[in-house]
Amino acid sequence: MKAACRKTGWAHLFGGISKVDQRDVSALGGAYELLPGCHTVLTQPINLGGVTSNATMRGQIGGRTFAVPMKSGYSYLLKNTPPQIHDWARVFIAELDPGGAESQIINPATRGELDVCKQSAAGRERHPHPTIRVPNERAAGNALRSLEASTKSLSALP
């Protein structure tokens, strides 16, 4: 299987994101490249809906905050599961290794996790280069299509 993203020194974040490390990125699109290390990520509100044979459910989940320990060459996808009759909707970030395999699920952070993440990122503020960048639209689209293809082929395995 072709690698979803190559080791580039950057981590890749995809999804409806409002802020990264307290920086408003909501108008920059849904694809970002970040230096490895812990980043705080605030999601945009998410509209959800679910339909079963007995009911239709709609709602909105407000922004959720994550402490994401990003690794070089890995991708991070904001995902959600729709509400079900006996289950709540869930918002999480899936970590994908450079080959496109899901390596862990990251849930919204506790206050303690956010504090640890912010402390570990304190030195990055003095970094001489930007810690976040937006890839050009073509590169972002290619990376996302590659990740989607990887995750579809993996989910088809028994």
Alpha helix segments (H runs only) across the chain:
111-121, 137-155
Res 157: pLDDT? 36
In whole numbers, what is the pLDDT of the chain averaged over residues? 77
pLDDT digits (tens, 9 = 90+) for 114-142: 999 988 877 665 554 556 777 765 555 55
* DSSP classification of residue 124: G
Residue type, 156: A
In a domain, 6, yes or no: no
pTM score of the predicted model: 0.72
Res 7: pLDDT? 46
Q: Which residue has the tokens 């408003």?
A: 24
In a domain, 49, yes or no: yes
| 1 has pLDDT over 70 | no
In a domain, 1, yes or no: no
Res 135: pLDDT? 73
Is the pLDDT higher at 109 or at 55?
A: 109
Res 153: pLDDT? 40
Instruction: Domain of residue 45: give its range.
Output: 11-153
In a domain, 4, yes or no: no
Split into its structural domains, the chain has a count of 1
In a domain, 103, yes or no: yes
What average pLDDT does this structure show over 21-41?
Answer: 90
* DSSP classification of residue 100: S
In a domain, 75, yes or no: yes
In a domain, 158, yes or no: no
| 4 has pLDDT over 50 | no
What average pLDDT does this structure show over 143-149?
Answer: 56
Which of 70, 74, 48, 50 is closest to 60 using CA atoms? 48
Q: What percent of the chain has pLDDT over 70?
A: 65
In a domain, 58, yes or no: yes
